[in-house]
Structure 1
Amino acid sequence: MLLFALLLLGDVLTSLGDVVPGGTGKTSIVFSTVGRSRYEFDIFTLPVPSSSSRNDYSGEEVLLSDGQSINYNGFFPGEDSALLSYLPDSELAEGSSLEVKNRRSVALLRAEGEARFSQRDRPCVSGEHLIYVSTHEDSGVPRKSWAAIASGETKRLTPRGVVDLSPSVSPSGEWTAVASSADGLYTDFNGELHTRIVVFRTVDGSERTIVDDHGGWPCWGDDSTLYFHRKSDDGWWSIFRATLNRDFSVASLDRVTPPGFHTFTPATGKGFLVMATRRPTSDYRHIELLDLASGEFVEITRRVSPLAHHFNPFVSPDSSRIGYHRCRGGRGNGAALALESMQSPLEDISLFRIDGHFPSFSPDGRRIAFVELPGLFVMNADGSGKRQVSPGNFFPTAWHPKKKDVIYSSQGPDFSSIGTEVDVVSIALAQGEDGALSPIIKKLTNGGGNNAFPSPSPDGKWVVFRSGRSGHNNLYIMDAEEGESKSIRQLTSGPWNDTMCIWSPDGEWIAFSSNREIPTTANYSLFIIHPNGTGLRKVAPREPEGKVNHAAFSPDSRRIVFGADYAGVSAEVISTPNSVLPYGEIFVANIDGTGLRRLTHNAYEDGTPVWSPTFVDPVDVKEALDGGSRCKFDDQFFFDAKGLSVADATCLKKPSRIEGRASPLDVFVVLGE
């Protein structure tokens, strides 16, 4: 058997990167992604149970991917696939990768130019065709998804102005089914993208035909049968079967799975379906098999690794194996990353994902402060020396520009109402005789009013912050040392929400997010204003609708990095772990709004970026996590109104695995030796 999968990480490197002081022209951007640093996904398989063993099924789980990178959305191609002729003879060998000791990863796709930085996801193969989702082309419309179906290197099969996700190639290879959307907007926060099932010719994308107006994640039973999921009128996610006429009109449509539990992301085998499920009796997403003849459900993963979420199953061509991805939970050779180096499309700028939120750099660029909600931490810019400053709930962080051991933050509940008691504080990083940090926390605001998002002026004399003391969130400036008890003035005013403010390094501007254009909504635009209250102007987006949050200036104050929903979603939301804003990506623009550039491409929520004047060498940095912290992320909240517990992989059954390491590629094939 052969396995195709996606790698969004290369090998984990053990050496720490160098930190280059400012003034070299090289800089670094660090951002956070909700939950992503704890995923540690790998591809696993289990045997399909025989009819006689279904009641007491407990197969041996096999790890197929490298145990180091982030690997997900696998696919078993047929062994006679013509695509294998493109691989060098030296890479081909007889045998099954499930039966051998060594495993090699061979590139099937090496994108060039701007496509190198895009997402290439959900691969499937038929004959000579490698079909996948690509985000390498700008949709040209703000908030419209960049996701489109591509073939080979970058051949686009999706028409311009259309969003396609979740491709599946028919058994004959002639047709491809997708979940298609007019825009890829995610507005209901219930998992649905309002996609329809569309079929087109695999070779060129022609003859597009709508099969059903409501559905996602299609898979073929045969060339005249499609299965897909959708949220039913009774509130349960279920699998449906469409029997098709020759013109792809629907001859019959049947609900295959009953109400009472959620079933989604189906895949087909000979006489059965496999799917992810969320049952009321479990807090975890598991893979189950449905015998289409008897209607019997068989739990596949719950008996093998009960305390883990399992995602997006797929079936081998001979229907003997079921594949999926889950967090490896510290198994294999992989390590959690304090800083994950990302490919940067900007020359002389290194790009990192941090395992934390709201990062900020010390004045000399050698330390990073961040929060874990709860908990305030400091570590060296190379990822070493992580230390907890305080276990309390702080957000965000901003270093004093002149004092290397003072951090500003806000202390109290995050995401709370205007009247909640949240205060701006300064935190002096004093050190006790035992070497432990003994912070001195000084409150700078009084009287509640949700005071948050402090940012000091470059001369260290003033702090701008957001406060709801007037009944609306507006911006204020106060004394940096003694706070509002010494001096305070209001910078903005109005019946809207001005928030997430930051002072430019040259002192000329304060950037902030605001819904002042449509105050009754959660649409936030990015504005800048002079500290004296003049010169207010909008930076982004051009339209009033959208979300632009958590801006940070470049060291020369000429550009701004921020999180935004410009590019829509890049995958069906239900196919991923929880992410409230799965369309959040990191963008850079000039302060006049021109020169917009997308930096990240993924299906998760990126945000809270910071731009450092120092350059951190683009190298992955490991961190040590205890067993209880591995795989600590949530499944989608919309499955259960009571909320879901986090996955704890410490109780996972240790899988058998195949030795070897992966190369830092995007789409690869695993071969046996």
Structure 2
Amino acid sequence: MKITLLLVGLTVMPGFGNHRILMNRIGASGAELFIANADGSGERKLLNTSGFDYNASFSADGKWIVFTSERNGSSDIYRVQVDGSGLERLTDDPAYDDQASLSADGRQLAFVSSRGSGSNDIWVLDLKTRRTRNLTDAPGGDYRPSWSPDGKWIAFSSDRDTKIQYAAGRWEHLHPVSLYIIQAEGRGLRRLTAAGKFAGSPKWSPDAKRIVFYEMSVEDTWPARGGGAANIVSQIISVDVATGKREEHTSGAGLKVSPQFLDAERIGYLVKAGPHPGLAFTMGEQGTAGEMRCPAWSPDGKQVVYQKLSFSRRPQNQALFSTNADFDLVYSEIFPAFSHEGKLVVSDRAGFQNNESALAVMDADGQNAKRIFHEDGGMAFASEWSPDERWIVFGVGSFFIPRGKPARVMMVRSDGSESRELTHGPLNSGFPSWSPDGKRIVYRVWSDSEHGLRILNPEDGVVTKLTEDYDNFPSWSPAGDRIAFTSFRNNDFDVYTIRPDGTGLKQLTTTPGNDGHSVWSPDGKYLLFSSSRFGFKDEAPLYDRIPQPYGELFVMKVDGSEQRPLTDNTWEDATPAWQPQSPRNGR
């Protein structure tokens, strides 16, 4: 489904907007390009200064490298000579531009962009006139364009004509992708691979008769981007464009991606995960081992360019790019929450394993941080201040599948001096939110047989049932008259509101996919939420450590109208908090 974007007040970098939003981003904290001999030996940095650069490829004459960079905020396309000189920006749009491929004559650039709709299409840029045109313009996401050597065709991968599929027993999406070719003028669209398998990253043979790609099961596109990648198997395949005849070039273990013909017979590719991660070749030889990503070889097969990612901890309150000038976006640890006076609490994961975190309280600017609660083996998660700011309510335990010991709702004094357990028993309880008068707490419960939202009186421990569906992330409105939450109804995750007495259920979002993590603005007029409606920005198996890379941040009025995106990128953006204006924080 195509969605027309309502982008108001576009800006290039975060400025001084009317609203300041804290949000968590799951993804690389840095990306740098390297160029090396074809086997990965003799590696050197492509550029003297890194600007968060990735997804590079060579021009047909081998003199230029085009790549994506976030050095000026949004992701845009640049080019540079192979010696690192002559850096030039080719696109300048607040939308997502990525995965560029130059035509054989060097006059046109095919690239992926979310311009206009939010989901990926293949666009073509005339490098002389700087005019752009949408080549594919169809529902769904298109990825990884590749020009044929004669310049007549563009091959690409696409999830068009597919429905959202969830990983078994989970909320993350699978990615059914097939290969297509289209004439450079936009005619003659043809599908090359059948449904039911994932096929990605097409590249042409030197004689333009074959296309090489990597193939795997659709079900494996979820673990391939997470902790299970080492157990995933894919193979390198080529197909005859005229006859459809397939040839399998690899066998055995390993997640093999990013193939490319180096000559008529030899193909280079990356083993992303498995027994021998690194560069490899179909003639049997192994290249340099390592965690390089998205390699692209020069036309003569003598050089390779690739990126290396870093996942160091981002600093609290690091400025992030916003597509809307009315909103300043800054990074935060997960589930930030503000008190009325502007104090901040977050789930602090520094120094812990994946399924463990503490609660930390700090000033709005991230200074004077103090850990106030930690439990060995548990995640202190999704906290919220009491209206009088004396207490913080939160969940602690196991929240992610497989869930271990049941999570409980607890409260701790804001200075960490005292804690109390509010729920007990076998139900997994968490994601609590205070009523504005401080007399009730809404939270979610989960088990194999029981779901929904519950309302707790913290004074006497009395619990009442609000809902009994697959509901989560409740958030009490500042006025106390509504509770926003995420619900899986009609085989889709959407944002709803309901009155605290259980009446007046209202569905606010209706787009396919995941809409969730909703939080109220301090004045109660708007809701922030994350959404997957734009879909994947790249082929799912090419991601690292990003469970839901389709997650973007949105804002809407509390009646569900005027839904607008605040982010448009290749990362996972979620768990926002709206900073209140107060004398203490100066906003």
Q: Within 5 A, what are the aligned runs for 1:400-479?
A: 400-403=386-389, 406-415=391-400, 420-430=405-415, 438-468=416-446, 471-479=449-457
Q: Is the CA contact 1:418–1:468 (under 8 Å) kept in the aligned structure 2?
A: no
- For residues 595-654 of structure 1, the C-alpha deviation after alignment (integer angstroms, 9 at most, x for no partner) is 1212222333322222222499xxxxxxxxxxxxxxxxxxxxxxxxxxxxxxxxxxxxxx
Amino acid at match of 2:569: N
Q: Secondary structure at the match of 2:317?
A: strand
Relative distance call for 1:588 and 1:96 in structure 2 (3 A) is closer
Task: Name 2:32's counterpart in structure 1.
Answer: 42
Aligned 1:507-522 pairs, distance under 5 A = 507-515=480-488, 517-518=489-490
Task: Give the Cα–Cα distance (whole angstroms) in 1 for the partners of residues 101 and 65 of structure 2.
Answer: 11
Aligned with 1:243 (options 240, 253, 274) = 240
Counterpart pick for 1:524 among 476, 493, 496: 493
- What is the CA–CA distance in structure 1 between the aligned matches of 2:162 and 2:363, rounded to whole Å? 39
Distance 1:39 1:579, change over 3 A: same
Q: Which moved more, 1:212-221 or 1:419-428?
A: 419-428
2:61 aligned with 1:75? no
- Deviation of 1:238 (Å): 0.8
Say if 2:269 is the partner of 1:275: yes
SS in 1 for 2:260: strand
Taking a change above 3 Å as real, the CA distance of residues 566 and 162 of structure 1, as seen in their structure-2 partners, is closer
Residues 313 and 67 (structure 1 numbering): CA distance in 2 closer, same or farther, change over 3 Å? same
Q: Secondary structure at the match of 1:275?
A: strand
8 A contact 1:26–1:615 mirrored in 2: no
CA distance in 2, matches of 1:336, 1:342: 11
- In 1: Cα distance, 2:21 partner to 2:477 partner: 15
User: Structure 2: how far apart are the matches of 1:65 and 1:379?
Assistant: 38
Alignment match, 1:585 = 552
Deviation at 1:387, TM superposition (A): 3.8
- d(CA) in 2 for partners of 1:391, 1:259: 44
Q: Residue 170 of structure 1: CA displacement?
A: 1.6
Q: Report the alpha carbon displacement of residue 39 of structure 1 after superposing the two structures with TM.
A: 4.1
AA at the equivalent of 2:527: I
Task: Find the partner of 1:505 among 464, 474, 478.
Answer: 478
Partner SS, residue 241 of structure 1: strand
Deviation at 1:532, TM superposition (A): 2.8
1:424-476: CA deviation from partner (whole Å, max 9, x where unpaired): 1112232xxxxxxx542221223342221111122333221123489422222
Given that 2:422 and 2:461 are in contact with CA atoms closer than 8 Å, whether structure 1 keeps it comes out as: no
Superposed, which structure 2 residues align to 1:74-223 within 5 Å?
74-78=56-60, 97-98=82-83, 103=85, 105-111=87-93, 116=94, 118-126=95-103, 127-138=106-117, 146-152=119-125, 154-161=132-139, 163-183=141-161, 185=163, 187=165, 189=167, 193-202=175-184, 204-213=185-194, 215-222=199-206, 223=208
Tell me, yes or no, if structure 1 residue 389 matches structure 2 residue 372: yes
Kept in 2: contact 1:176–1:200 (CA 8 A): yes
For residue 486 of structure 1, give the secondary structure of its aligned residue in structure 2. coil
Kindly state the Cα deviation for residue 188 of structure 1 after the two structures are TM-superposed: 5.2
Equivalent position amino acid for 1:375 in 2: S
In the alignment, is the contact (CA less than 8 A) between 1:344 and 1:599 conserved in 2?
A: yes
Match of 1:574, SS state, is helix
1:132 CA displacement = 0.8
**Structure 1 Cα separation of the partners of residues 577 and 344 of structure 2:** 13
Letter in 1 for 2:281: L
What is the root-mean-square deviation of aligned Cα atoms in Å?
Answer: 3.3
Structure 2: distance between partners of 1:138 and 1:33: 22
Residue 248 of structure 2: aligned partner: 255
Deviation at 1:584, TM superposition (A): 2.1
* Deviations, residues 314-335 of structure 1 (Å, cap 9, x unaligned): 01233221111112578xxxx9
Which residue in 2 is equivalent to 1:6?
A: none
- Asked if the contact 1:40/1:336 (under 8 Å) is kept, the reply is no
Cα contact 1:360–1:370 (8 A) shared by 2: no
**Matched residue of 2:541: which SS?**
helix
Aligned residues: percent identity? 23
Q: Which residue, out of 321, 339, 346, partners 1:362? A: 339
Amino acid at match of 1:225: R
Amino acid at match of 1:397: S
The answer for unaligned runs of 5 or more in structure 1 is 1-12, 50-57, 85-94, 140-145, 431-437, 617-673
Q: Which residue of 2 aligns with 1:649?
A: none
Q: Do structure 1's residue 321 and structure 2's residue 307 form an aligned pair? A: no
C-alpha distance in structure 2 between counterparts of 1:80 and 1:97, whole Å:
8
Moved more, 599-608 or 169-178: 599-608
Whether 2:498 is the aligned partner of 1:539: answer no
* Structure-2-length-normalised TM-score: 0.80
Aligned-partner residue type, residue 275 of structure 1: Y
Assess if the C-alpha contact under 8 Å between 2:272 and 2:293 holds in 1.
no
Q: Distance in 1 between matches of 2:239 and 2:319?
A: 44
**Quick one: distance in 1 between partners of 2:314 and 2:453?**
38
Structure 1: distance between partners of 2:311 and 2:493: 37
Q: What is the alpha-carbon distance in structure 1 between the residues aligned to residue 433 and residue 573 of structure 2?
A: 21
Structure-1 separation of matches of 2:55 and 2:414? 44
- Cα shift at 1:183: 4.5
Aligned to 1:608: 575
After superposition, the C-alpha distances for 1:482-513 in whole angstroms (9 at most, x for unaligned) are x2x6143424233x222210011222211111
2:22–2:578: 8 Å Cα contact kept in structure 1?
yes
Shift of 1:164: 1.6
Instruction: Measure, in 2, the Cα distance between the counterparts of 1:177 and 1:615.
Output: 54
Paired residue for 2:466, among 476, 492, 507? 492
Output the TM-score relative to the length of structure 1: 0.70
Q: Is the partner of 1:240 in helix, strand or coil?
A: strand
Once residues 267 and 553 of structure 1 are traced to their aligned partners in structure 2, the CA distance between those partners, rounded to angstroms, is 48
Q: Which whole-Å deviations, capped at 9, do the CAs of 1:30-71 have from their partners, x for residues lacking one?
A: 22233x1x442211122125xxxxxxxx72321224554322
Do 1:199 and 1:210's aligned partners in 2 also have CA atoms closer than 8 Å? yes
Contact map agreement 1:361 1:369 (CA 8 A) in 2 = no
Contact 1:189–1:580 (8 Å) recurs in 2 = no
Q: 1:491–1:531: 8 Å Cα contact kept in structure 2?
A: no
Aligned to 1:535, the other structure's residue is in SS state coil
TM-aligned CA deviation for residue 83 of structure 1: 11
Following superposition, the deviation at residue 348 of structure 1 comes to 2.4
CA offset digits 1:342-378 (Å, max 9, x no partner): 3323342212233x21111232224342343422233
Deviation at residue 528 of structure 1 after TM alignment: 0.7
Residue 128 of structure 1: how far off its partner (Å):
1.2
For the 8 Å contact 1:175–1:201, the answer to whether it is kept is: yes
Quick one: structure 1 residues 374 and 30, their matched pair in 2 at CA, closer, same or farther if it must change by over 3 Å?
A: same
Matched letter for residue 238 of structure 1 = Q
Identify unmatched segments of 5+ residues in structure 2: 1-12, 67-79, 126-130, 221-231, 350-354
Amino acid aligned to 1:500:
F
Change (3 A) 1:327 1:181: closer
Contact 2:164–2:513 (CA under 8 A) maintained in structure 1: no
- What letter corresponds to residue 243 of structure 1 in structure 2? D
1:399 aligns with one of 370, 373, 385: 385
Cα distance between partner residues in 2 of 1:259 and 1:478: 55
Aligned-partner SS, 2:286: strand
Give the Cα separation in 2 of the matches to 1:329 and 1:421.
30
SS, match of residue 555 in structure 1: coil
Q: Retained in 1: the 8 A contact 2:314–2:331?
A: no
Alignment correspondent of 2:518: 551
- 534 and 440 in structure 1: CA distance in 2 versus 1, 3 angstrom threshold: same
Kindly state the Cα deviation for residue 155 of structure 1 after the two structures are TM-superposed. Answer: 1.4
8 Å CA contact 1:28–1:612 kept in 2: the answer is yes
Q: Tell me, what secondary structure is at the counterpart of 1:451? A: strand
What letter corresponds to residue 475 of structure 1 in structure 2? L
Contact between 1:275 and 1:288, CA under 8 Å: does it hold in 2?
yes
Distance 1:227 1:280 in 2: 21
Shift of 1:418: 8.9
